[in-house]
Chain A
Amino acid sequence: MYKSYNQIFIGFLLTIFHINIGPLQILPPFVGLLIMFFAIYRLYNISQIKDFRISYKLIAVAILLSLIYTIITFSYNILGNFYYYMASILPSIVYLLFIFYLINGSIKLFDNCWERNILLLRVFTVFHLLTLAISVVLISKFAFNILTLTSLLILINYLIVAYLLYFYRKIAKMDMLSE
Chain B
Amino acid sequence: MNKSTAEKIISLGKEKMADFVEIFEEETRNASVVYKDKKVESATAGTDYGIGIRLIYGTNVVYGFTSNEEEEHLLQLVRNLSQLSGVQASGQNLDPISLQFQEASNSHKISLNPREVGQDKKLPFLKMADKAAREYSSKVHQVAITAADISSHVNIINSEGLFLSDNRIRTRFSINVSAAQNGDIFVAREAPGAMMGFEFVENLDIEQYARQAAGRAVLMLDAKYIEGKKMPVVMGNGFGGVIFHEACGHPLETESIRRKASPFAGKMGEQIAHNKVTAVDDGTIPNKWGSLNVDDEGNPTQKTVLIEKGILKNYMSDRVGAKELGVPITGSSRRESYKYAPVSRMRNTYIDKGEDKFEDMIGSVESGLYAKKMGGGSVNPATGEFNFAVEEGYIIKNGKVVEPVRGAALIGKGHEILPQISMVGDDLELAAGMCGASSGMVPTTVGQPSLKVDNILVGGR
Partners in one complex: no
Q: Which residues of B contact A (CB under 8 A)?
A: none
